Chain A
Amino acid sequence: MPAKEISKPISEATGPTGESSPLKEISVSTVETTKRIDEPPRRSKVSIKGINAWFGSKQALKNISLEIEENAATAFMGPSGCGKTTLIRCLNRMHEMTPGAKAKGQVILDGIDIYDKSIDPVIIKRRIGMVFQKPNPFPTMSIFDNVAAGLKLNGVKDKKLIKEIVEESLEGAGLWEEVKNELDKPGMGLSGGQQQRLCIARALAMQPEVLLMDEPTSALDPIASSKIEELVHQLKKHLTIIIVTHNMQQAARVADHAAFMYLGEMIEFGKTLQIFQYPKQELTEKFVSGKFG
Chain B
Amino acid sequence: MLILVAFAVGEGALPIFSHEGFQFITGTDWNAVYGRESFGALPYIIGTLLSSAIAMAIGVPISLGIAIFVTEMAPHRISTPLSFVVELLAAVPSIIYGLWALFVFRFWIRDLIERPLYEHLSWIPFFDKTPFGLDIFTAGIVLSIMIIPIISSITREILRVVPNSQREAAYSLGATRWGTLRTAVFPYAKSGILGASFLGLGRAIGETILVTMIIGNAIGPAAIPTTLFSQGQSLASLIANEFNEAASDLHLSALIGLGAILLLLSMVINIGARLMVSRMVKAVPGGRE
Q: A99-B76, A153-B179, A153-B183 are in contact. Are A138 and B168 (CB under 8 A)?
A: no
Stretch at the interface among B170-178, B217-225, B268-276: B170-178
Q: Which of A60-104 contact B (CB under 8 A)?
A: 92, 94, 97, 99-100
Are B183 and A94 in contact, with the CB atoms below 8 A? Answer: no
Chain A positions within 8 Å of B184 at CB level? 138
Which of A97, A141, A152, A154 has a CB less than 8 Å from the CB of B171?
A97
Are B165 and A206 in contact, with the CB atoms below 8 A? Answer: no
Chain B positions within 8 Å of A176 at CB level? none
Which of A92, A123, A132, A141 has a CB less than 8 Å from the CB of B187?
A141
Q: A153-B174, A153-B179 are in contact. Are A97 and B168 (CB under 8 A)?
A: yes
Verify if A134 is at the interface (C-beta below 8 Å from B).
yes
Q: A138-B187, A139-B188, A149-B183 are in contact. Are A132 and B173 (CB under 8 A)?
A: no
Which of A126, A134, A139, A141 has a CB less than 8 Å from the CB of B174?
A126
Distance of A282 Cα from B220 Cα, bound (Å): 91
Verify if B57 is at the interface (C-beta below 8 Å from A).
no
Q: Which of B144-178 contact A (CB under 8 A)?
A: 163, 165-176
Distance of A131 Cα from B76 Cα, bound (Å): 27
Please give me the residue from chain B that is nearest to A137 by CB atom: B169
- Give per-residue flags for A195-223: 1 if the beta carbon is below 8 A from chain B beta carbons, else 0: 00001001100100000000000000000
Verify if A181 is at the interface (C-beta below 8 Å from B).
no
Are A206 and B174 in contact, with the CB atoms below 8 A? Answer: yes
Are A154 and B169 in contact, with the CB atoms below 8 A? Answer: no
Are B169 and A94 in contact, with the CB atoms below 8 A? Answer: no
Chain B positions within 8 Å of A199 at CB level? 169
Are B76 and A100 in contact, with the CB atoms below 8 A? Answer: yes
A151 CB to nearest B CB, Å: 9
Are A138 and B173 in contact, with the CB atoms below 8 A? Answer: no
Are B166 and A94 in contact, with the CB atoms below 8 A? Answer: no
Verify if A140 is at the interface (C-beta below 8 Å from B).
yes
Please give me the residue from chain A that is nearest to B76 by CB atom: A99
A147 CB to nearest B CB, Å: 10
Which of B173, B179, B190, B283 has a CB less than 8 Å from the CB of A203?
B173
Verify if B93 is at the interface (C-beta below 8 Å from A).
no
Chain A positions within 8 Å of B174 at CB level? 122-123, 125-126, 150, 153-154, 206
Are A129 and B75 in contact, with the CB atoms below 8 A? Answer: no
Which of A99, A123, A140, A150 has a CB less than 8 Å from the CB of B173?
A150
Interface size on A, residues (CB 8 A): 28
B176 CB to nearest A CB, Å: 6
Distance of A206 Cα from B174 Cα, bound (Å): 9
Please give me the residue from chain A that is nearest to B283 by CB atom: A139
B196 CB to nearest A CB, Å: 18
Please give me the residue from chain B that is nearest to A120 by CB atom: B176
Please give me the residue from chain B that is nearest to A135 by CB atom: B165
Chain B positions within 8 Å of A206 at CB level? 173-174
Please give me the residue from chain B that is nearest to A134 by CB atom: B165
Distance of A138 Cα from B172 Cα, bound (Å): 13
Please give me the residue from chain B that is nearest to A199 by CB atom: B169
Chain A positions within 8 Å of B167 at CB level? 97
Chain A positions within 8 Å of B171 at CB level? 94, 97, 125
B46 CB to nearest A CB, Å: 36
Please give me the residue from chain B that is nearest to A205 by CB atom: B173
Are A132 and B75 in contact, with the CB atoms below 8 A? Answer: no
Chain A positions within 8 Å of B163 at CB level? 136
Are A153 and B187 in contact, with the CB atoms below 8 A? Answer: no
Interface hub of A130, A136, A154 (most chain B Cβ within 10 A): A136
Are B172 and A125 in contact, with the CB atoms below 8 A? Answer: yes
A94 CB to nearest B CB, Å: 6
Distance of A78 Cα from B163 Cα, bound (Å): 27
Taking beta carbons and an 8 Å cutoff, which residues of A are in contact with B? 92, 94, 97, 99-100, 122-123, 125-126, 129-130, 132, 134, 136-141, 149-150, 152-154, 199, 202-203, 206
Taking beta carbons and an 8 Å cutoff, which residues of B are in contact with A? 75-76, 163, 165-176, 179, 183-184, 187-188, 190, 283
Known: A130-B172, A136-B168, A152-B183. 10 other contacts (CB 8 A): A94-B171, A97-B171, A125-B174, A138-B166, A139-B166, A139-B188, A153-B170, A153-B179, A153-B183, A206-B173
Could you pull out 17 A-B pairs where Cβ atoms are within 8 angstroms?
A: A125-B172, A129-B172, A130-B168, A130-B172, A132-B165, A136-B166, A138-B169, A138-B183, A138-B187, A138-B188, A139-B188, A140-B187, A140-B190, A152-B183, A153-B170, A206-B173, A206-B174
